[in-house]
């Protein structure tokens, strides 16, 4: 069975030296509105790739603060590939 959406990032956050305990499952701070149902339907390739990007960022930023992590997420959601799916950003 493959992991459910966002399981990998949640696991990476729980194992992160400075961010562990800072976030909860389905944290409302990470809720954003997709442009339509098709933009966020299922656990598509783009979503798996984004989850891996988050995991990689966390691995490469072991001393990150919540502010740094959330700033990176806001930046990532402002990039064209995600902005077309989530026009209000993160």
Give the per-residue pLDDT at 42. 58
User: 0.85 cut: is pTM over it?
Assistant: no
Q: Judging by beta carbons within 10 Å of its beta carbon (0-12, 13-18, 19+), is residue 13 exposed, middle or buried? A: buried
Q: Are 43 and 5 in contact (CB under 8 A)?
A: yes
* Lowest-confidence region among 15-19, 35-39, 73-77: 35-39
33/59 Cα distance (integer angstroms): 27
When the pLDDT of each residue in the chain is averaged and rounded to a whole number, the result is 84
DSSP code at position 4 = P
């Amino acid at each position: 069975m493959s992991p459910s959406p966002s399981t990998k990032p949640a696991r990476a956050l729980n194992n992160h030296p400075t961010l562990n305990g800072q976030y909860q499952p389905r944290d409302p701070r990470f809720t954003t509105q997709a442009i339509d149902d098709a933009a966020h339907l299922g656990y598509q390739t783009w979503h798996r790739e984004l989850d891996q990007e988050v995991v990689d960022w966390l691995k490469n930023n072991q001393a990150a603060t919540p502010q740094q992590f959330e700033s990176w997420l806001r930046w990532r959601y402002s990039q064209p590939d995600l902005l077309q799916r989530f026009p209000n950003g993160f």
